[in-house]
Structure 1
Amino acid sequence: MQHSTQNNGLVTRSHGTGKDLVFLHGWGMNSGVFTEFSPLLSEEFTVTVVDLPGFGNNRNVVPDKYSVASLAEMIRPALPDNCVVAGWSLGGLVAQQLALSAPDKVTGLITIASSPRFVSANGWPGIDPAILSQFQKELGENFQKTLDRFLSIQAMGSETARQDVKKIKSSVTTYPDPSPDALAAALQLLSDEDLRPVIGQIRQPTLRIFGRLDSLVPKTAIDNICQLQPQSDAVVLSKASHAPFISHPQQTAGIIQRFMATRVQN
């Protein structure tokens, strides 16, 4: 049975029983993206999904300064005690920040197709800055068209790309559109934020799930990320792109279950 709660102005939704597992979504999305995936885990865990500030049911809750630190600060009071935080894409940036700034609440970290630094620069593989600039330009003209293009890039390479995009769109459109200000500010985060200097300080057990065909977090970045946090576990799904929990839900759920059972203390 699912129930909604409100904490610090943020709406969260939970279902299941067991250790708390919290999911944060990516840019332009909302927690609806986990609708089909979370039931694969809710028999073992209490799964909570959180719309990032400015998105979904939290579209009207936007911090004055939109940064990874301010998002983590807003979400922190809404986290259950002793939880594992799992962040997809942009949500993974926020999850990493929460592991650093809320170690009293976060006992484990999972990132899905995420990075401490999304944009490429000085030998660091990532998204071409020109692509992000183009997205920022297009965003002011047509949100839906920009989102569609972003979704197609996310699914690119996956054998089920068409179905993946369709699945994501049908899940997120049942929730309110994001705040235009938050949408633009969150896109800017993908260009600006850089947690590379600090992720080595994360002390919680960490699982990083990647898709080998991901063009937003390219496979050439995986070794670099693991070198910055050598104590983390990394799993690469050979046929997945940027949304492995959509294209390979059972496999992704199994990887998370094994991590929770072997690396995270109850």
Structure 2
Amino acid sequence: MTTLYWHTCGEGKRDFVLLHGWGLNADVWHCIINRLAPHFRLHLVDLPGYGRSSGYGDMSLSEMATVVLNQAPEKALWLGWSMGGLVASQIALNQPEQVIGLITVSSSPCFSAQGDWPGIRPEILAGFKQQLHDNFPRTIERFLSLQTLGIASARKDTTFLKSLVSYQQNAEVLMRGLEIVQTTDLRSALAHCSVPFLRIYGDRDELVPSRVATLLDGAWPTTQSAIIDNAAHVPFMSHPDDFLALIIYFSQRDDLHYTVRLSSYGGVG
């Protein structure tokens, strides 16, 4: 029987589901789990087809969201990093009554650059797909290196990310993941998302330019954005203090439906 890897820990009363990005698994949260555990009942998931959930084949975004939601607690706070942000967003769109708050980290409703919309150039994503076919390990290593480019802790963070990768992963699952990143566009759908929504970015992110934050501030005026200075694609690793301060602030408000602007957040004093 196919099973979804789902690990629950923590002493808090509020359920908090964390979804990782492309090519990785729930162990990516190792660096902040001990600090989140006193505040939440944490649910650490390996997305279908990834890590210890390898029994699943390649899936669409909607199919992944359904599988994850079927095992999730009711009324949880959801966080998705990078591609995981698309999965968490799809869940919030499909079942908003089950999501008390949505947090996306270094994610975009549309990862591909389109006209004036900033993102990853289509030819770059197409190149990754071809390289994944030609040289699987090297392609994943290159992708992980892009996530830490330009930050002080780049070497340490990249080494940690690479330690999480299993080269026994299903290439078809990874290829479909890249297709999801390349083709998904949730900008219009999320403009009508009814759940409290915080978006966190790094100002040095090479994959999700921080200009996305400003554009969505205008397009989604009821959502909140935070840009962490000197952070790239993995702000929870490189800047855990600032990252955790944002999470706790967002989650501990008396009414998560009350919106406060956090745009261009610069750090915790």
Normalising by structure 2, report the TM-score.
0.90
Higher relative contact order (CA 8 A, sep 6+): 1
Matched residue of 1:93: which SS?
helix
Structure 1 residues 53 and 93: alpha-carbon distance in aligned structure 2, compared to 1, 3 A threshold: same
User: Which one of 54, 67, 75 corresponds to residue 74 of structure 1?
Assistant: 67
Q: Would you say 1:10 and 2:1 are equivalent positions?
A: no
* Contact 1:56–1:177 (Cα < 8 Å) also in 2: no
Structure 2 letter corresponding to 1:260 = S
What code does the residue aligned with 1:58 have? S
Which amino acid is 1:99 matched to? Answer: A
Unmatched tracts of structure 2, length 5 or more: 258-269
**Count of residue correspondences:** 255
Runs of 4+ in 1 over 6 A off after TM superposition: none
Please say if 1:184 is aligned against 2:175: yes
The match for 2:31 is 36
Query: Secondary structure in 2 aligned to 1:36?
Result: helix
Counterpart of 2:84 (choices 69, 72, 91) is 91
The residue that corresponds to 2:125 in the other structure is: 132
Q: Which amino acid aligns with 1:188?
A: E
Q: Tell me if 1:120 matches 2:109.
A: no
**C-alpha distance 150-184 of structure 1, shift in aligned 2 (>3 A):** same
Check the 8 A contact 2:203/2:210 in 1, yes or no: yes
Query: 1:134: Cα distance to partner?
Result: 1.0
C-alpha contact (below 8 Å) 2:196/2:256 kept by paired residues: yes
Q: What stretches of structure 1 of length at least 5 have no aligned partner? A: 1-5
Q: Kindly provide the CA deviation profile for residues 118-154 of structure 1, in whole angstroms up to 9, marking residues without a partner as x.
A: 0101211000111111110110122211111001111
What is the Cα deviation at residue 255 of structure 1?
Answer: 0.9
SS in 1 for 2:217: helix
SS at match of 1:9: coil
Q: How does 1:216-231 map to 2 (within 5 A)?
A: 216-231=207-222
Instruction: Please tell me the residue identity of whatever aligns with 1:56.
Output: G
- Percent identity among equivalent residues? 35
Report the Cα distance in structure 1 between the residues aligned to 2:95 and 2:57, rounded to whole angstroms.
Answer: 20
Measured on the aligned residues, the alpha-carbon RMSD in Å equals 1.6
1:240 to 231, 244, 252: 231
Partner of 1:3: none
Find the aligned partners of 1:22 and 1:39 in 2 and give their Cα distance.
15
Aligned runs of 1:190-205 on 2, under 5 Å?
A: 190-205=181-196
Give the drift of 1:176: 7.6
Q: What's the offset of the Cα at 1:94?
A: 0.7
